[in-house]
Amino acid sequence: MSPRTNQMLTCREMVELVSDYLEGRLDDPDRERFEEHVAECDACTLYIEQMRMTIAALGHIPTETVSAEAERELLDAFRDWSSTRS
């Protein structure tokens, strides 16, 4: 099995890319992979919705939240989600 570096992003990578995505700074291939992951990942769908609401409320992207608190929330959400699926 080869490493799937050019395929699905991991949720951790999603967290790192979300601010670039929401600011339209991702290249087309990156944005496509990002959206592909979101389409199949409930945790990231929820995370991006929360980010959008936060941005709407603050008027900007809370970069510190993305790197620390939000990442922890996302990983918690993802753990819950994967445990209910298995």
The binding site for Zn ion (CB under 5 A) comprises 11, 41, 44
CB atoms inside a 10 Å sphere around CB 39: 9
In whole angstroms, the minimum distance from the beta carbon of 30 to Zn ion comes to 15
How far apart are alpha carbons 45 and 85 in whole angstroms? 16
Whole-angstrom CA distances from 8 to 14, 47, 57 are: 10, 17, 30
In whole angstroms, the minimum distance from the beta carbon of 59 to Zn ion comes to 26
In whole angstroms, the minimum distance from the beta carbon of 43 to Zn ion comes to 5
